[in-house]
């Protein structure tokens, strides 16, 4: 018995030594680590981006680096497997005998639980279906969609009025090259308009710059429905939380009661983010304008047919596969400042020129409207990092920063690390 155990353990020691040797030879390039840290920091620095952009767009640059790390992990896994010692005759017998006298190193509480539901063999693993497959219509109609046209100033102003924004009208570069979008803001709310169907609304610019969506409100659909209905959007829709897009996806229903959407894995027709108090913080909309009279129809696979196709790996067409990891957004802390007291702040400047040349530009520092001695800020390159001295004030219920002086040549420093706590 002792000889059998010894023969089983010695190869494990050799294998462990080989792994350590390989790991010592693997050194991540320093520039890769530095660039990765920079990219992740930029991905989670909301103030650098236009306040009209969604939180979803902030995380896109980091996805490529996450994919690179996953690829490196797969390569390491292949290397470890390639240097693993060959199976030893009677090793299975030895292991089963040895476990009677040697305690298992894996705590029983950490064993992988077996899910309930029916199991299916799929690609060398077990795929479990824990919920009944849903029922779906057998056909859907085809509608003719109208081309989206840029909004006129009058249309943009009418849309701003529906959201209760009575502030000045500004301009910004459109998302399509060579076009111009309209921006309305009262210093707190904002609305960026491309057309009457394509717009971004933000209820609180400063809060939006310091917020990541957390879809966990059980009354979200009711809150969203009341908000949209009060602003003239009375279409029928279901809403569901989306970890991938962040916030809640709103799906307007077609006349045949089937949810409408763009191509798979593209931005939804409408995405709504709620703040920590359960109120609407942002609305990103790219709605469809189409003739409700169908021009044709097509058949829809049932959920069972689609699932059977998934299990059939001999089928080389007709399937689209996609996966993603949960977005574990970091907890963030921001410096807070009292009102009506001299302070020095550092932040990113965004400015939008007024449509009326006699009116001042809309200037924001980290989403906070600027007043006072801000001359020259409107000419800065977008998202310039500056130092400003002044004090926070409240005018007509809107918090602003009254600038006394500011300076552009400021060194921006990023520090990364791990923060821990021991006791208190």
* Domains of the chain, each with CATH number or no CATH: 2-105 (no CATH), 153-304 (no CATH), 343-407 (2.40.50)
pLDDT by residue for the chain (424 residues), tens only, comes to: 444 434 444 555 555 555 555 444 454 544 444 555 555 544 444 443 444 444 444 444 444 444 454 555 554 454 444 444 444 333 333 333 333 344 444 445 556 667 777 889 888 888 888 888 988 889 999 999 998 888 999 999 999 999 999 888 999 988 778 888 999 999 999 999 998 889 999 999 998 887 666 657 889 999 999 999 999 999 999 998 887 788 899 999 999 899 988 887 788 999 999 988 899 999 999 999 999 999 999 999 999 999 998 888 888 788 887 777 766 666 778 888 999 999 999 999 999 999 999 999 999 999 999 999 999 999 998 889 999 999 999 999 999 999 999 998 888 888 888 888 899 8
Residue 238, φ and ψ in degrees, nearest 5:
-100, 155
Predicted pLDDT at 411: 86
The token duo for 386 is 């500056």
Predicted pLDDT at 412: 85
Q: Are 372 and 402 in contact (CB under 8 A)?
A: yes
Residue-level length of the chain: 424
Predicted pLDDT at 109: 52
Predicted pLDDT at 99: 32
Predicted pLDDT at 112: 64
Give the integer Cα–Cα distance in Å for 243 and 215: 7
Predicted pLDDT at 390: 97
Smallest CA-to-CA distance from 207 within 362, 47, 59, 339 is with 47
Predicted pLDDT at 195: 87
Task: Establish how many alpha carbons lie within 13 A of residue 398's alpha carbon, considering only the half-sphere containing its beta carbon.
Answer: 20
- DSSP conformation letters of 219-281: THHHHHHHHHHHTT------EEE-TTTSSEEE-PBPTTSPBP--STTSPPSEEEEE-TTSSEE
Predicted pLDDT at 118: 81
Predicted pLDDT at 66: 46
Predicted pLDDT at 170: 96
Residue matched to tokens 């894995």: 265
The token duo for 216 is 């966990």
Give the integer Cα–Cα distance in Å for 4 and 97: 9
Predicted pLDDT at 88: 38
Task: Establish how many alpha carbons lie within 13 A of residue 218's alpha carbon, considering only the half-sphere containing its beta carbon.
Answer: 0
Predicted pLDDT at 338: 94
Predicted pLDDT at 129: 87
H/E element holding 304? helix 303-311
Predicted pLDDT at 269: 93
């Amino acid at each position: 018995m002792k000889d059998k155990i010894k023969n089983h353990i010695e190869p494990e020691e050799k294998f462990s030594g080989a792994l350590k040797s390989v790991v010592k030879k693997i050194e991540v390039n320093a520039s890769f680590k530095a660039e990765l840290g920079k990219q992740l920091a930029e991905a989670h620095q909301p103030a650098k981006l236009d306040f009209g952009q969604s939180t979803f767009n902030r995380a896109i640059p980091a996805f490529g680096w996450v994919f690179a790390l996953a690829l490196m992990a797969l390569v390491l896994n292949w290397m470890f497997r390639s240097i693993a010692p060959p199976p030893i005759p009677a090793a299975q017998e030895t292991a089963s005998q040895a476990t009677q006298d040697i305690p298992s190193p894996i705590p029983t509480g950490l064993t992988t639980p077996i899910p309930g539901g029916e199991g299916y063999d799929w690609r060398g693993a077990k795929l479990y279906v824990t919920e009944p497959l849903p029922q779906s219509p057998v056909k859907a109609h085809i509608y003719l969609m109208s081309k989206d046209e840029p909004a006129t100033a009058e249309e943009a102003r009418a849309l701003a009025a529906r959201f209760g924004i009575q502030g000045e009208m500004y301009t910004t570069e459109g998302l399509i090259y060579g076009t111009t979008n309209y921006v309305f803001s009262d210093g707190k709310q904002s609305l960026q308009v491309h057309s009457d169907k394509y717009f971004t609304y933000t209820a609180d610019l400063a809060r939006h710059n310091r917020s990541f969506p957390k879809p966990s409100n059980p009354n979200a659909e009711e809150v969203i429905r009341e908000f949209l209905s009060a602003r003239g959007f009375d279409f029928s829709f279901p809403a569901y939380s989306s970890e991938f897009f962040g916030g809640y996806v709103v799906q307007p229903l077609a006349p045949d009661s089937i949810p409408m959407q763009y191509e798979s894995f593209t931005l939804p027709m409408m995405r709504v983010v709620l703040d920590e108090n359960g109120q609407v913080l942002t609305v990103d909309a790219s709605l469809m304008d189409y003739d409700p009279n169908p021009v044709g129809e097509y058949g829809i696979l049932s959920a069972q047919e689609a699932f059977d196709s998934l299990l059939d790996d001999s089928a080389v067409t007709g399937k689209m596969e996609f996966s993603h990891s949960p977005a574990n957004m970091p907890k963030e802390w921001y410096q807070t400042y009292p009102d009506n007291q001299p302070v020095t702040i550092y932040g990113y400047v965004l400015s939008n020129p007024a449509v009326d040349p006699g009116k001042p530009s809309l200037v924001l520092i980290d989403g906070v409207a600027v007043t006072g001695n801000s001359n020259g800020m409107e000419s800065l390159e977008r998202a310039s990092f500056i130092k400003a001295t002044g004090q926070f004030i409240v005018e007509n219920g809107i918090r602003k920063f009254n600038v006394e002086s500011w300076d552009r040549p400021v060194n921006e420093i990023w520090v990364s690390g791990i923060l821990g706590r021991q006791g208190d």
